[in-house]
Amino acid sequence: MVITLSGLPGSGKTTIASMLAERLGVNWYSMGDLRGKMAAERGLTIDQLNELGEKEAFTDKEVDDYQAKLGVSGESFVIDGRLSWHFIPDAFKVFLYVDPSVGAQRVIDSQKHKERPDEQAYVSVEDAERVLCARMESDQRRYQKYYGLDILKRDNYNLWIDTSKLTPQQIVATILAAVEARQA
């Protein structure tokens, strides 16, 4: 069983992926962490790497090739990444939506705990929301340019969850129930 988690910034992809992997006793892979490491190695923020990616395919290709290899490994795992659903087509595909202002606040909160060193510092929730919206627009441009994909198309996913008012435990329970229903 492979579960892919895609979603908006601050929707809970990392938190939920970690919890699901622990609950299922499988590995967890984070494409956001890989891209964050790639950015840090180049002295860039994640948004600067994304901007470079609009001109240079390597910023996505390395991570995308890695996902595709994982997808044919035969391993059971949980993976969070905006395009994981595409590169692992036989997975159970989940999209996590969040109200942009809620997502921005969550990203700011994660910065306070040093969870995302690849993020720039934000001066306010409004600032974070603006930057995160621009990030999604950049992602959409890259994914359209390189793969002809729209990650916001609901048909790409088995399950679409608005995480804005849910606890991580509620989200995990919803996903596991949907996976069980699909397997039945």
pLDDT tens, position by position, 47-91: 788 788 878 888 888 889 999 999 999 999 999 999 999 999 999
Task: Give residue 62's pLDDT.
Answer: 86
Q: What is the mean pLDDT of residues 104-128?
A: 78
- Nearest Cα neighbor of 96 from 177, 167, 162, 4 is 162
End-to-end CA distance of the chain: 14
Task: Give residue 110's pLDDT.
Answer: 80
Q: Which pTM does this prediction carry? A: 0.88
Does position 153 have pLDDT exceeding 90, yes or no? Answer: yes
pLDDT band at 114 (very low <50, low <70, confident <90, very high): low
| Burial class of residue 26 in the structure, from the number of CB atoms within 10 Å of its CB (0-12 exposed, 13-18 middle, 19+ buried) | middle
Task: Give residue 113's pLDDT.
Answer: 65
In whole angstroms, give the CA distance from residue 159 to residue 17.
14
DSSP state of 126: H
CATH of domain 2-179: 3.40.50.300
pLDDT above 90: percentage of residues in the chain: 65
Task: Give residue 67's pLDDT.
Answer: 93
Task: Give residue 119's pLDDT.
Answer: 62
Does position 115 have pLDDT exceeding 60, yes or no? Answer: no
What's the mean per-residue pLDDT of the chain? 91
Does position 111 have pLDDT exceeding 90, yes or no? Answer: no
Task: Give residue 137's pLDDT.
Answer: 92
Mention every residue, 6+ apart, whose C-beta is less than 8 A from residue 49: 35, 38, 39, 42, 59
In whole angstroms, give the CA distance from residue 10 to residue 110.
9
In whole angstroms, give the CA distance from residue 77 to residue 54.
29
DSSP secondary structure of 29-86: EEHHHHHHHHHHHTT--HHHHHHHHTT-THHHHHHHHHHHHHHTS---EEEE-TTHHH
Q: What is the mean pLDDT of residues 93-104?
A: 97
3, two tokens: 């579960």
pLDDT band at 32 (very low <50, low <70, confident <90, very high): confident
47, two tokens: 């948004």
